[in-house]
Protein backbone atom coordinates (compact mmCIF):
# COMPACT_ATOMS: atom_id res chain seq x y z
CA UNK A 1 0.00 0.00 0.00
CA UNK A 2 2.79 2.42 0.86
CA UNK A 3 4.31 1.84 -2.57
CA UNK A 4 0.96 2.39 -4.26
CA UNK A 5 0.44 5.79 -2.70
CA UNK A 6 3.98 7.09 -3.01
CA UNK A 7 4.25 10.41 -4.86
CA UNK A 8 5.81 9.16 -8.08
CA UNK A 9 5.97 11.29 -11.22
CA UNK A 10 2.89 11.04 -13.43
CA UNK A 11 4.58 9.26 -16.35
CA UNK A 12 2.96 7.03 -18.94
CA UNK A 13 4.33 3.73 -20.26
CA UNK A 14 6.49 5.42 -22.90
CA UNK A 15 8.16 7.57 -20.24
CA UNK A 16 6.77 10.92 -21.36
CA UNK A 17 5.49 13.02 -18.43
CA UNK A 18 2.40 15.16 -18.31
CA UNK A 19 3.22 18.79 -17.54
CA UNK A 20 2.39 20.24 -14.12
CA UNK A 21 1.40 23.69 -15.35
CA UNK A 22 -2.03 24.32 -13.78
CA UNK A 23 -2.02 26.75 -10.86
CA UNK A 24 -4.55 27.18 -8.07
CA UNK A 25 -6.53 29.95 -9.79
CA UNK A 26 -7.02 27.88 -12.95
CA UNK A 27 -8.00 24.91 -10.79
CA UNK A 28 -10.72 26.94 -9.03
CA UNK A 29 -11.98 28.28 -12.36
CA UNK A 30 -12.06 24.75 -13.76
CA UNK A 31 -14.25 23.56 -10.87
CA UNK A 32 -16.60 26.53 -11.27
CA UNK A 33 -16.52 26.32 -15.07
CA UNK A 34 -17.66 22.69 -15.13
CA UNK A 35 -20.36 23.22 -12.50
CA UNK A 36 -21.89 26.31 -14.13
CA UNK A 37 -23.67 24.93 -17.18
CA UNK A 38 -27.34 25.35 -17.99
CA UNK A 39 -28.90 24.09 -14.74
CA UNK A 40 -28.65 27.38 -12.89
CA UNK A 41 -30.76 29.11 -15.55
CA UNK A 42 -33.44 26.41 -15.84
CA UNK A 43 -33.91 24.44 -12.62
CA UNK A 44 -35.85 27.15 -10.76
CA UNK A 45 -38.90 26.44 -12.96
CA UNK A 46 -39.44 22.74 -12.05
CA UNK A 47 -38.50 23.52 -8.44
CA UNK A 48 -41.26 26.15 -8.31
CA UNK A 49 -43.75 23.79 -9.98
CA UNK A 50 -43.23 21.30 -7.13
CA UNK A 51 -45.35 23.51 -4.86
CA UNK A 52 -42.52 24.73 -2.65
CA UNK A 53 -42.60 28.26 -1.32
CA UNK A 54 -39.77 30.72 -1.94
CA UNK A 55 -37.95 30.07 1.33
CA UNK A 56 -37.99 26.30 0.81
CA UNK A 57 -36.62 26.64 -2.72
CA UNK A 58 -33.72 28.72 -1.40
CA UNK A 59 -33.30 26.18 1.40
CA UNK A 60 -33.04 23.39 -1.21
CA UNK A 61 -30.20 25.25 -2.95
CA UNK A 62 -28.45 25.90 0.37
CA UNK A 63 -28.79 22.32 1.68
CA UNK A 64 -27.66 20.84 -1.64
CA UNK A 65 -24.72 23.24 -1.60
CA UNK A 66 -23.79 22.26 1.95
CA UNK A 67 -23.96 18.53 1.10
CA UNK A 68 -21.81 19.20 -1.97
CA UNK A 69 -19.37 21.08 0.26
CA UNK A 70 -19.28 18.08 2.61
CA UNK A 71 -18.31 16.00 -0.42
CA UNK A 72 -15.61 18.56 -1.21
CA UNK A 73 -14.23 18.27 2.33
CA UNK A 74 -14.19 14.48 1.94
CA UNK A 75 -12.25 14.61 -1.32
CA UNK A 76 -9.92 17.23 0.18
CA UNK A 77 -8.78 14.58 2.65
CA UNK A 78 -8.41 11.89 -0.01
CA UNK A 79 -6.39 14.20 -2.28
CA UNK A 80 -3.41 13.81 0.04
CA UNK A 81 -3.11 10.13 -0.93
CA UNK A 82 -1.61 10.63 -4.39
CA UNK A 83 -0.33 13.19 -6.85
CA UNK A 84 -1.30 11.10 -9.89
CA UNK A 85 -4.09 11.83 -12.35
CA UNK A 86 -7.37 9.96 -12.04
CA UNK A 87 -9.05 11.55 -9.03
CA UNK A 88 -11.93 9.41 -7.83
CA UNK A 89 -10.59 6.41 -9.78
CA UNK A 90 -7.24 6.61 -8.00
CA UNK A 91 -8.82 7.11 -4.58
CA UNK A 92 -11.07 4.08 -5.03
CA UNK A 93 -8.14 2.00 -6.32
CA UNK A 94 -5.94 2.81 -3.33
CA UNK A 95 -8.74 2.14 -0.84
CA UNK A 96 -10.79 -0.74 -2.29
CA UNK A 97 -8.62 -2.23 -5.03
CA UNK A 98 -8.69 -2.49 -8.80
CA UNK A 99 -12.16 -3.98 -9.35
CA UNK A 100 -14.10 -1.20 -7.61
CA UNK A 101 -12.03 1.53 -9.23
CA UNK A 102 -12.35 -0.09 -12.66
CA UNK A 103 -16.13 -0.28 -12.40
CA UNK A 104 -16.18 3.44 -11.68
CA UNK A 105 -13.80 4.19 -14.56
CA UNK A 106 -15.64 1.94 -16.99
CA UNK A 107 -18.99 3.47 -16.02
CA UNK A 108 -17.50 6.91 -16.62
CA UNK A 109 -16.18 5.94 -20.06
CA UNK A 110 -19.31 4.19 -21.30
CA UNK A 111 -21.96 6.33 -19.62
CA UNK A 112 -21.26 8.98 -16.98
CA UNK A 113 -18.49 11.04 -18.57
CA UNK A 114 -19.25 10.41 -22.23
CA UNK A 115 -23.00 10.96 -21.80
CA UNK A 116 -22.34 14.18 -19.88
CA UNK A 117 -20.17 15.47 -22.73
CA UNK A 118 -22.81 14.48 -25.28
CA UNK A 119 -25.65 16.04 -23.30
CA UNK A 120 -23.86 19.36 -22.70
CA UNK A 121 -22.86 19.53 -26.38
CA UNK A 122 -26.50 19.11 -27.42
CA UNK A 123 -27.67 21.75 -24.91
CA UNK A 124 -25.02 24.11 -26.35
CA UNK A 125 -26.20 23.58 -29.93
CA UNK A 126 -29.86 23.74 -28.90
CA UNK A 127 -29.15 27.21 -27.51
CA UNK A 128 -27.56 28.24 -30.81
CA UNK A 129 -30.63 26.87 -32.58
CA UNK A 130 -32.80 29.38 -30.70
CA UNK A 131 -30.88 32.25 -32.31
CA UNK A 132 -29.99 30.63 -35.61
CA UNK A 133 -32.17 27.68 -36.72
CA UNK A 134 -29.89 24.84 -37.76
CA UNK A 135 -32.36 22.86 -39.83
CA UNK A 136 -32.30 19.12 -40.47
CA UNK A 137 -30.00 18.11 -43.35
CA UNK A 138 -31.02 14.46 -42.85
CA UNK A 139 -34.75 15.14 -42.53
CA UNK A 140 -35.61 12.30 -44.92
CA UNK A 141 -34.01 9.83 -42.48
CA UNK A 142 -35.35 11.28 -39.23
CA UNK A 143 -37.99 8.58 -38.76
CA UNK A 144 -35.48 5.73 -38.83
CA UNK A 145 -35.38 4.23 -35.35
CA UNK A 146 -33.56 1.42 -33.57
CA UNK A 147 -35.96 -0.36 -31.28
CA UNK A 148 -38.08 2.79 -30.91
CA UNK A 149 -35.41 4.08 -28.54
CA UNK A 150 -32.55 5.43 -30.65
CA UNK A 151 -33.33 7.96 -33.41
CA UNK A 152 -29.87 8.68 -34.85
CA UNK A 153 -30.97 11.02 -37.63
CA UNK A 154 -33.54 13.10 -35.75
CA UNK A 155 -32.47 16.72 -35.13
CA UNK A 156 -29.51 16.09 -37.41
CA UNK A 157 -28.56 19.78 -37.61
CA UNK A 158 -28.20 19.98 -33.82
CA UNK A 159 -26.25 16.73 -33.68
CA UNK A 160 -23.82 17.65 -36.45
CA UNK A 161 -22.98 20.93 -34.71
CA UNK A 162 -22.70 19.18 -31.33
CA UNK A 163 -20.21 16.72 -32.80
CA UNK A 164 -18.32 19.61 -34.40
CA UNK A 165 -18.04 21.35 -31.00
CA UNK A 166 -16.73 18.16 -29.36
CA UNK A 167 -14.18 17.59 -32.13
CA UNK A 168 -13.03 21.24 -32.07
CA UNK A 169 -12.53 21.30 -28.30
CA UNK A 170 -10.79 17.92 -28.40
CA UNK A 171 -8.37 19.30 -31.00
CA UNK A 172 -7.64 22.32 -28.78
CA UNK A 173 -7.11 20.01 -25.81
CA UNK A 174 -4.74 17.79 -27.78
CA UNK A 175 -2.55 20.81 -28.48
CA UNK A 176 -1.77 21.49 -24.84
CA UNK A 177 -3.31 21.66 -21.38
CA UNK A 178 -2.34 25.34 -21.11
CA UNK A 179 -4.41 26.22 -24.19
CA UNK A 180 -7.41 24.32 -22.83
CA UNK A 181 -7.23 25.81 -19.33
CA UNK A 182 -6.61 29.33 -20.64
CA UNK A 183 -9.79 28.98 -22.69
CA UNK A 184 -11.62 27.73 -19.60
CA UNK A 185 -10.31 30.65 -17.51
CA UNK A 186 -11.52 33.19 -20.04
CA UNK A 187 -14.97 31.64 -20.44
CA UNK A 188 -15.47 31.15 -16.69
CA UNK A 189 -14.60 34.77 -15.93
CA UNK A 190 -17.14 35.82 -18.58
CA UNK A 191 -19.98 33.64 -17.31
CA UNK A 192 -19.38 34.58 -13.67
CA UNK A 193 -19.63 38.21 -14.80
CA UNK A 194 -22.89 37.38 -16.61
CA UNK A 195 -24.37 35.75 -13.50
CA UNK A 196 -23.33 38.75 -11.39
CA UNK A 197 -25.19 40.92 -13.89
CA UNK A 198 -28.32 38.79 -13.41
CA UNK A 199 -27.96 39.09 -9.64
CA UNK A 200 -27.59 42.86 -9.91
CA UNK A 201 -30.67 43.16 -12.12
CA UNK A 202 -32.76 41.14 -9.69
CA UNK A 203 -31.55 42.60 -6.42
CA UNK A 204 -30.90 46.23 -7.22
CA UNK A 205 -32.97 47.28 -10.22
CA UNK A 206 -36.10 48.87 -8.75
CA UNK A 207 -37.83 50.60 -11.69
CA UNK A 208 -40.22 47.79 -12.49
CA UNK A 209 -42.71 45.61 -10.73
CA UNK A 210 -42.71 41.86 -10.50
CA UNK A 211 -43.30 39.93 -13.70
CA UNK A 212 -46.85 38.63 -13.99
CA UNK A 213 -48.68 36.47 -16.50
CA UNK A 214 -52.11 37.02 -17.97
CA UNK A 215 -52.78 33.29 -17.98
CA UNK A 216 -53.79 31.46 -14.78
CA UNK A 217 -50.88 30.65 -12.54
CA UNK A 218 -50.18 27.68 -10.34
CA UNK A 219 -51.32 28.27 -6.75
CA UNK A 220 -48.64 27.72 -4.12
CA UNK A 221 -49.98 26.04 -1.00
CA UNK A 222 -47.90 25.03 1.99
CA UNK A 223 -44.35 23.82 1.61
CA UNK A 224 -44.91 21.15 -1.01
CA UNK A 225 -43.99 18.39 1.44
CA UNK A 226 -40.82 16.42 2.12
CA UNK A 227 -40.88 14.61 -1.23
CA UNK A 228 -41.12 17.92 -3.09
CA UNK A 229 -38.19 19.32 -1.10
CA UNK A 230 -36.18 16.20 -1.86
CA UNK A 231 -37.01 16.49 -5.57
CA UNK A 232 -35.96 20.15 -5.50
CA UNK A 233 -32.63 19.17 -3.97
CA UNK A 234 -32.11 16.62 -6.75
CA UNK A 235 -32.60 19.43 -9.28
CA UNK A 236 -30.06 21.51 -7.38
CA UNK A 237 -27.59 18.61 -7.27
CA UNK A 238 -27.79 18.42 -11.06
CA UNK A 239 -26.71 22.06 -11.22
CA UNK A 240 -23.91 21.46 -8.68
CA UNK A 241 -22.58 18.40 -10.52
CA UNK A 242 -18.97 18.36 -11.76
CA UNK A 243 -17.23 19.61 -8.61
CA UNK A 244 -15.07 16.48 -8.34
CA UNK A 245 -13.71 16.47 -11.90
CA UNK A 246 -10.69 18.68 -11.22
CA UNK A 247 -9.15 15.80 -9.24
CA UNK A 248 -8.92 13.83 -12.50
CA UNK A 249 -6.12 16.17 -13.63
CA UNK A 250 -4.05 16.04 -10.43
CA UNK A 251 -1.07 14.93 -12.53
CA UNK A 252 -1.00 18.34 -14.23
CA UNK A 253 -1.69 20.56 -11.20
CA UNK A 254 1.16 22.23 -9.35
CA UNK A 255 1.48 20.89 -5.79
CA UNK A 256 -1.73 18.81 -6.14
CA UNK A 257 -1.97 17.63 -2.53
CA UNK A 258 -2.38 21.28 -1.53
CA UNK A 259 -4.03 22.84 -4.58
CA UNK A 260 -6.60 20.16 -5.51
CA UNK A 261 -8.43 20.41 -2.13
CA UNK A 262 -8.25 24.20 -2.20
CA UNK A 263 -9.55 24.34 -5.78
CA UNK A 264 -12.50 22.07 -5.02
CA UNK A 265 -13.53 23.83 -1.80
CA UNK A 266 -13.11 27.35 -3.20
CA UNK A 267 -14.83 26.45 -6.48
CA UNK A 268 -17.84 24.87 -4.74
CA UNK A 269 -18.13 27.82 -2.33
CA UNK A 270 -18.03 30.33 -5.20
CA UNK A 271 -20.70 28.47 -7.17
CA UNK A 272 -22.91 27.98 -4.10
CA UNK A 273 -22.90 31.72 -3.38
CA UNK A 274 -23.70 32.55 -7.01
CA UNK A 275 -26.51 29.97 -7.19
CA UNK A 276 -28.23 31.12 -4.01
CA UNK A 277 -28.03 34.81 -4.92
CA UNK A 278 -29.21 34.37 -8.51
CA UNK A 279 -32.23 32.32 -7.38
CA UNK A 280 -33.13 35.00 -4.85
CA UNK A 281 -32.88 37.47 -7.73
CA UNK A 282 -35.16 35.35 -9.93
CA UNK A 283 -37.85 35.13 -7.26
CA UNK A 284 -37.64 38.81 -6.39
CA UNK A 285 -38.62 39.71 -9.96
CA UNK A 286 -40.82 36.70 -10.82
CA UNK A 287 -43.30 35.39 -8.21
CA UNK A 288 -42.99 31.70 -7.45
CA UNK A 289 -46.47 30.93 -8.79
CA UNK A 290 -45.52 32.59 -12.08
CA UNK A 291 -42.30 30.61 -12.24
CA UNK A 292 -44.34 27.45 -11.65
CA UNK A 293 -46.53 28.34 -14.63
CA UNK A 294 -43.68 28.76 -17.10
CA UNK A 295 -43.43 26.04 -19.73
CA UNK A 296 -40.77 23.35 -19.73
CA UNK A 297 -38.84 25.15 -22.46
CA UNK A 298 -39.00 28.58 -20.82
CA UNK A 299 -36.02 29.91 -18.91
CA UNK A 300 -36.46 32.01 -15.78
CA UNK A 301 -33.39 34.11 -16.54
CA UNK A 302 -34.81 34.99 -19.96
CA UNK A 303 -38.17 36.04 -18.53
CA UNK A 304 -36.50 38.16 -15.86
CA UNK A 305 -34.10 40.01 -18.16
CA UNK A 306 -36.70 40.42 -20.91
CA UNK A 307 -38.88 42.28 -18.43
CA UNK A 308 -36.05 44.82 -18.02
CA UNK A 309 -34.31 44.94 -21.39
CA UNK A 310 -37.08 43.78 -23.72
CA UNK A 311 -36.35 41.31 -26.54
CA UNK A 312 -32.64 42.11 -26.38
CA UNK A 313 -32.68 40.49 -22.95
CA UNK A 314 -33.54 37.14 -24.49
CA UNK A 315 -30.55 37.39 -26.81
CA UNK A 316 -28.30 38.27 -23.85
CA UNK A 317 -29.39 35.30 -21.76
CA UNK A 318 -29.28 32.92 -24.71
CA UNK A 319 -25.68 33.95 -25.35
CA UNK A 320 -24.85 33.55 -21.65
CA UNK A 321 -26.26 30.01 -21.62
CA UNK A 322 -24.36 29.29 -24.83
CA UNK A 323 -21.15 30.50 -23.23
CA UNK A 324 -21.80 28.57 -20.01
CA UNK A 325 -22.46 25.27 -21.75
CA UNK A 326 -19.49 25.67 -24.11
CA UNK A 327 -17.20 26.30 -21.12
CA UNK A 328 -18.62 23.33 -19.20
CA UNK A 329 -18.15 21.14 -22.29
CA UNK A 330 -14.49 22.15 -22.51
CA UNK A 331 -13.98 21.37 -18.81
CA UNK A 332 -15.53 17.91 -19.14
CA UNK A 333 -13.35 17.10 -22.14
CA UNK A 334 -10.25 18.22 -20.24
CA UNK A 335 -10.94 16.13 -17.15
CA UNK A 336 -12.54 12.84 -18.20
CA UNK A 337 -9.74 12.03 -20.67
CA UNK A 338 -7.26 12.09 -17.76
CA UNK A 339 -9.30 9.45 -15.96
CA UNK A 340 -9.04 7.05 -18.91
CA UNK A 341 -5.35 7.90 -19.25
CA UNK A 342 -4.74 6.88 -15.64
CA UNK A 343 -6.69 3.65 -16.10
CA UNK A 344 -4.48 2.78 -19.07
CA UNK A 345 -1.35 3.56 -17.04
CA UNK A 346 -2.51 1.07 -14.42
CA UNK A 347 -3.09 -1.54 -17.14
CA UNK A 348 -6.90 -1.53 -16.85
CA UNK A 349 -7.82 0.19 -20.10
CA UNK A 350 -6.82 0.15 -23.74
CA UNK A 351 -3.03 0.50 -23.64
CA UNK A 352 -2.70 3.29 -26.21
CA UNK A 353 -4.79 5.59 -24.01
CA UNK A 354 -1.68 5.99 -21.83
CA UNK A 355 0.29 7.60 -24.67
CA UNK A 356 1.38 11.21 -24.22
CA UNK A 357 1.95 13.46 -27.23
CA UNK A 358 5.72 14.01 -27.62
CA UNK A 359 5.28 17.71 -28.46
CA UNK A 360 2.18 18.87 -26.59
CA UNK A 361 2.47 16.61 -23.50
CA UNK A 362 -1.22 15.70 -23.59
CA UNK A 363 -2.95 12.29 -23.35
CA UNK A 364 -4.12 12.70 -26.93
CA UNK A 365 -5.20 9.09 -27.54
CA UNK A 366 -7.36 9.17 -24.43
CA UNK A 367 -8.88 12.45 -25.62
CA UNK A 368 -9.66 10.85 -28.98
CA UNK A 369 -11.26 7.79 -27.36
CA UNK A 370 -13.44 10.08 -25.25
CA UNK A 371 -14.35 12.14 -28.32
CA UNK A 372 -15.41 9.11 -30.36
CA UNK A 373 -17.76 7.57 -27.79
CA UNK A 374 -19.23 10.97 -26.90
CA UNK A 375 -19.99 11.66 -30.57
CA UNK A 376 -21.65 8.25 -30.88
CA UNK A 377 -23.86 9.07 -27.89
CA UNK A 378 -24.80 12.40 -29.50
CA UNK A 379 -26.23 10.53 -32.47
CA UNK A 380 -27.85 7.89 -30.29
CA UNK A 381 -29.88 10.60 -28.59
CA UNK A 382 -30.12 8.27 -25.60
CA UNK A 383 -27.69 9.98 -23.22
CA UNK A 384 -30.45 11.39 -21.00
CA UNK A 385 -31.78 7.86 -20.45
CA UNK A 386 -28.28 6.58 -19.74
CA UNK A 387 -27.46 9.29 -17.21
CA UNK A 388 -30.79 8.69 -15.43
CA UNK A 389 -29.97 4.99 -15.12
CA UNK A 390 -26.52 5.57 -13.68
CA UNK A 391 -27.59 7.97 -10.89
CA UNK A 392 -27.60 5.07 -8.45
CA UNK A 393 -23.99 4.17 -9.26
CA UNK A 394 -22.86 7.78 -8.98
CA UNK A 395 -24.07 8.17 -5.40
CA UNK A 396 -22.84 4.69 -4.53
CA UNK A 397 -19.29 5.75 -5.40
CA UNK A 398 -19.71 9.01 -3.42
CA UNK A 399 -20.65 6.99 -0.35
CA UNK A 400 -17.66 4.71 -0.90
CA UNK A 401 -15.33 7.72 -1.02
CA UNK A 402 -16.57 9.00 2.34
CA UNK A 403 -16.30 5.53 3.87
CA UNK A 404 -12.83 5.22 2.36
CA UNK A 405 -11.76 8.49 3.98
CA UNK A 406 -12.68 7.14 7.42
CA UNK A 407 -10.97 3.84 6.62
CA UNK A 408 -7.70 5.44 5.49
CA UNK A 409 -7.70 7.91 8.40
CA UNK A 410 -8.02 5.07 10.90
CA UNK A 411 -5.14 3.26 9.23
CA UNK A 412 -2.99 6.35 9.64
CA UNK A 413 -2.49 6.77 5.87
CA UNK A 414 -4.11 10.22 6.03
CA UNK A 415 -2.22 12.22 8.63
CA UNK A 416 -3.44 15.77 7.99
CA UNK A 417 -6.18 17.40 10.04
CA UNK A 418 -9.55 17.11 8.26
CA UNK A 419 -12.37 19.65 8.39
CA UNK A 420 -15.27 18.32 10.46
CA UNK A 421 -13.89 14.77 10.71
CA UNK A 422 -15.54 12.33 11.36
CA UNK A 423 -18.94 14.09 11.47
CA UNK A 424 -18.90 15.44 7.90
CA UNK A 425 -18.03 12.15 6.12
CA UNK A 426 -20.62 10.30 8.25
CA UNK A 427 -23.33 12.84 7.31
CA UNK A 428 -22.27 12.54 3.67
CA UNK A 429 -22.55 8.73 3.85
CA UNK A 430 -25.99 8.86 5.49
CA UNK A 431 -27.28 11.36 2.94
CA UNK A 432 -25.94 9.25 0.06
CA UNK A 433 -27.62 6.15 1.50
CA UNK A 434 -30.92 8.04 1.84
CA UNK A 435 -30.63 9.15 -1.78
CA UNK A 436 -29.82 5.60 -2.90
CA UNK A 437 -32.86 4.21 -1.08
CA UNK A 438 -35.09 6.92 -2.52
CA UNK A 439 -33.77 6.17 -6.03
CA UNK A 440 -34.46 2.45 -5.62
CA UNK A 441 -38.02 3.16 -4.46
CA UNK A 442 -38.92 5.87 -6.98
CA UNK A 443 -36.92 4.64 -10.01
CA UNK A 444 -36.53 0.86 -9.65
CA UNK A 445 -36.28 0.18 -13.40
CA UNK A 446 -33.64 2.86 -14.00
CA UNK A 447 -31.72 1.77 -10.91
CA UNK A 448 -31.65 -1.89 -11.94
CA UNK A 449 -30.66 -0.98 -15.49
CA UNK A 450 -27.92 1.30 -14.15
CA UNK A 451 -26.48 -1.48 -12.00
CA UNK A 452 -26.53 -3.86 -14.96
CA UNK A 453 -24.77 -1.32 -17.17
CA UNK A 454 -22.12 -0.81 -14.51
CA UNK A 455 -21.62 -4.57 -14.16
CA UNK A 456 -20.99 -4.93 -17.91
CA UNK A 457 -17.49 -3.76 -16.96
CA UNK A 458 -16.78 -6.97 -15.01
CA UNK A 459 -15.75 -9.11 -18.04
CA UNK A 460 -13.65 -6.22 -19.35
CA UNK A 461 -11.94 -5.99 -15.96
CA UNK A 462 -10.85 -9.63 -16.12
CA UNK A 463 -9.81 -9.18 -19.76
CA UNK A 464 -7.54 -6.25 -18.88
CA UNK A 465 -6.30 -8.02 -15.75
CA UNK A 466 -5.28 -11.08 -17.77
CA UNK A 467 -3.67 -8.90 -20.41
CA UNK A 468 -1.73 -7.02 -17.73
CA UNK A 469 -0.55 -10.31 -16.19
CA UNK A 470 0.73 -11.53 -19.56
CA UNK A 471 2.54 -8.30 -20.43
- pLDDT average, residue stretch 69-80: 88
Asked whether 302 and 100 are in contact (CB, 8 A), the reply is: no
User: How many other C-beta atoms lie within 10 A of the C-beta of residue 195?
Assistant: 21
Model pLDDT for residues 103-120, shown as the tens digit of each residue: 999 999 988 889 889 989
Are the C-beta atoms of residues 322 and 127 closer than 8 Å to each other? yes
How sure is the predictor about 140, in pLDDT bands with cuts at 50, 70 and 90? low
How far, in Å, CA of 2 to CA of 221, rounded? 58
Q: What percent of the chain has pLDDT over 90?
A: 45
Q: Is the pLDDT of residue 192 over 80?
A: yes
What pLDDT, on a 0 to 100 scale, did the predictor assign at position 117? 92
For 365, other C-beta atoms within 10 Å of its C-beta total: 22
| pLDDT tens profile 239-297 | 888 888 999 999 999 999 899 999 999 999 999 999 999 999 998 888 888 888 876 66
| pLDDT at 207 > cutoff 70 | no
The rounded mean pLDDT for the chain is: 84
Q: How far is CA 401 from CA 96, 128, 226, 346, in A?
A: 10, 38, 27, 20
Alpha-carbon span 193 to 203, nearest angstrom: 15
Q: Select from 51, 49, 52 the least CA-distant residue to 61.
A: 52
pLDDT of 61 over the 50 cut: yes
Q: Which of 324, 302, 323 is nearest to 314 (CA)?
A: 302
Count how many residues are written for the chain. 471
Name, in order, each residue with C-beta under 8 angstroms of 66's C-beta and a sequence gap of 6 or more.
Answer: none
d(CA 262, CA 266): 6
Lowest mean per-residue pLDDT among 10-24, 361-375, 385-399, 439-453: 10-24
What's the pLDDT score for residue 232? 83
Backbone angles phi, psi at 356, to 5 degrees: -115, 135
What is the pLDDT, as a whole number, of residue 218? 47
Q: Which residues contact 271 (CB under 8 A, 6 or more apart)?
A: 31, 32, 35, 36, 65, 240, 243
What pLDDT was estimated at residue 53? 86
User: pLDDT value at position 237?
Assistant: 85
Buried b (16+ CB within 10 A) or exposed e, 407-435: ebbeeeebeeebeebeebbeebbebbeeb
Q: Give the CA distances from residue 218 to residues 49, 222, 346, in Å, rounded to whole numbers and listed in that order.
A: 8, 13, 55
Within 10 angstroms of residue 216's Cβ, the number of other Cβ atoms is 8
Q: Mark out the alpha helices in 346-442 (DSSP H runs).
A: 364-380, 383-389, 391-410, 423-442
CA 8 to chain centre: 28
CA angle 186, 267, 227 (to 5 degrees): 120
Is the pLDDT assigned to residue 143 strictly greater than 70?
no
Per cent of the chain over pLDDT 70 is 86
Tell me the per-residue pLDDT of 313-353, one tens digit each, with 9 for 90 and over.
778 888 899 999 999 999 999 999 999 999 999 999 999 99
Cα separation, 438 vs 442, whole angstroms: 6
Q: Between helices 300-309 and 177-204, what is the axis angle to 10°?
A: 60
As a whole number of angstroms, the distance between CA 64 and CA 425 comes to: 15
* Secondary structure of 135-196 as H, E, C letters: CCCCHHHCCCCECCCECCCCCHHHHHHHHHHHHHHHHHHHCCHHHHHHHHHHHHHHHHHHHH
Q: Binning pLDDT at 50, 70 and 90, where does residue 382 land?
A: low
Q: What's the confidence (pLDDT) of residue 152?
A: 67
- Residue 103 CB neighbour total at 10 angstroms: 22
CA–CA–CA angle 258, 259, 260 (5° rounding): 100
SS3 287: coil
C-alpha–C-alpha distance, residues 238 and 118, integer Å: 16
- Separation CA 167–CA 333 (nearest Å): 10
Region of 109 please: left (phi>0), alpha (psi -120 to 50) or beta.
alpha
Interatomic CA distance for residues 387 and 441, integer angstroms? 18
- Burial of 150 per CB tally in 10 Å (0-12, 13-18, 19+): middle
Amino acid sequence: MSEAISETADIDRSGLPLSRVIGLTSGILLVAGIMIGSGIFKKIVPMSASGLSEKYIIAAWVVAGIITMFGAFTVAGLATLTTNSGGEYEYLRLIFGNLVSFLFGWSSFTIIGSASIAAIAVVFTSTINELLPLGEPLASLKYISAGYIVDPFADSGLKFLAVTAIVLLTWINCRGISKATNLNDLITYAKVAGILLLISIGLFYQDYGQVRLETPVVPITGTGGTSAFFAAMLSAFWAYDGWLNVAFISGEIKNPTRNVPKAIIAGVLLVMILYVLVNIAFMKVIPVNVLASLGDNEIAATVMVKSVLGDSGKVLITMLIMLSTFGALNGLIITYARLYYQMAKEGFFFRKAANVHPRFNTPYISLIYSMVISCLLVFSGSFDLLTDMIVFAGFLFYALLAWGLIKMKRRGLIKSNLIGYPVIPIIFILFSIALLVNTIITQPTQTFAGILLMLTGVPFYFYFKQKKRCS
